[in-house]
Amino acid sequence: MLEAINLSKLYGRHEALTNLNLSVAPGEVFCLLGANGAGKTTTINLFMSFIKPDSGQIKVNNIDVSTQPGETKKYLAYIPENLSLYGNLSGLENLQFFVGLGGSKPDKPTSEQLLQSVGLQEEAIQKRVSQYSKGMRQKVGIAIAKAKKADNLLLDEPTSGLDPQASNDFAQLLQDMKQNKVAILMATHDLFRAKESGTHIGIMKEGKLIHTLNSNEITLTELEHLYLETMKTDKYVKAAH
């Protein structure tokens, strides 16, 4: 369960996030749409306690992130947009390292199986990550998140740079996690993926959540239209004030 209550964040005088309220229940996929600088990544960074909010509250499984950031990490898995791994280590070593930091120690066969389950070729597993493409690195990131078996998943534009096949595999992974009652918050530019994978869609602009939609109640065309209109005009931002 992920909750943001009246969440605000300032960078100097710039309001990166203003009174954000959202809630993602287990089995839900909340997709945040918006242009660059809309506040999507800031929202995720706040959930991950990479940064501190200026006001408001963030809860993960009903635990306050501000007061117990370490505790909330147990229930969170995270995949950033540009997943960086250690180039001098293999995919397998990277996976074992990051998963190991979370406290679990997957053995070699389990780790290999995990990597293969996200579509990484067997021969690539032992190769150093410096030889990986962006898509391959992203797959390792997905495997790391999957291995954590967390209740909540935060995704910051996870399909950026993935080929269509990998992107499709990723969508399948989201479906699996959704069925396993994982609460997923995903920042994305991909309207199609948001409509396909999301249960709820939020459109953000200038740090404000302008629209919150149930993805079953809107078509892709309508979503696209609403999104473009929101981006064009200031009326929603003013209204949000």
Partner 1 sequence: MLKLLIKKEFLNALRDTRLQVSGGILIVLMLTAVLVGKQGQNQLQKERAKAQSAMYDKWLNQGEKHPHSAAHYGQFAFKPKPVLSFLDVGLDNYTGISVFLEAHKQNEILFSAAQDSNGMTRFGEMTASLVLQVLLPLLIIFLTFNIFSKEREEGTLKLIHAQGLSMRKLFMGKVWGTYLMVLLIFLPVILLAYLLLDRQSSSLDSEVLLKFLTLTGSYAIYFLVFILLCVLISAFAKNSGFSLLTLMGLWIASCVILPKATTNLADKVYSTPSQFDFKNTVKSKVKNGIDGHNPSDERLASLKQEVLDEHGVKTIEELPVNWSGIAMQAGEEYTDQVYDAEFSKIEDIFNRQNRFSEWASFINPYLAIRNLSMALSGTDFQHHVAFAKAAENYRRDFVKKMNKDMEVNHKPGVAYSDYNVGEQMWASIEPFEYDLPSTSSIISNQWRSVTALAVWLIALFFSASLYAPKIPKL
In the complex, the residues that contact partner 1 under the rule CB under 8 A are: 45, 48-51, 70, 73-74, 76-78, 80, 82-86, 88-89, 93, 97-103, 128, 141, 144, 148
Question: Residue 10 or 218: which CB sits closer to partner 1?
Answer: 10
Within 83-219, residue ranges assigned H as helices are: 91-101, 108-117, 122-125, 134-148, 164-179, 191-197
Shortest approach of partner 1 to residue 82 CB, angstroms?
6
Shortest approach of partner 1 to residue 80 CB, angstroms?
6
User: What is the rounded CA–CA span in Å between residue 232 and residue 47?
Assistant: 29
Shortest approach of partner 1 to residue 102 CB, angstroms?
4
Shortest approach of partner 1 to residue 2 CB, angstroms?
14
Kindly write down the DSSP assignment for every residue of 38-68, as one continuous string: SSHHHHHHHHTTSS--SEEEEEETTEETTT-
Query: Which residue from 177, 207, 170, 211 is spatially nearest to 192, judged by alpha carbons?
Result: 170
**CA end-to-end span of the chain, whole Å?**
27
State whether residue 159 is helix, strand or coil. Answer: coil
Shortest approach of partner 1 to residue 47 CB, angstroms?
10
Question: Residue 106 or 212: which CB sits closer to partner 1?
Answer: 106
Shortest approach of partner 1 to residue 241 CB, angstroms?
28
Question: Residue 207 or 213: which CB sits closer to partner 1?
Answer: 207
Question: Residue 152 or 188: which CB sits closer to partner 1?
Answer: 152
Inter-residue contact 65 to 49 (CB < 8 Å): yes
State whether residue 134 is helix, strand or coil. Answer: helix
Question: Residue 186 or 223: which CB sits closer to partner 1?
Answer: 186
Question: Residue 102 or 135: which CB sits closer to partner 1?
Answer: 102
The structure tokens listed for 151 are 């209740």
Cβ-count burial 39-73 (b if 16+ within 10 Å, e if not): bbbbbbbbbbbeeebeebebbbbeeebeeebeebb
Shortest approach of partner 1 to residue 73 CB, angstroms?
3
User: What is the rounded CA–CA span in Å between residue 27 and residue 37?
Assistant: 28
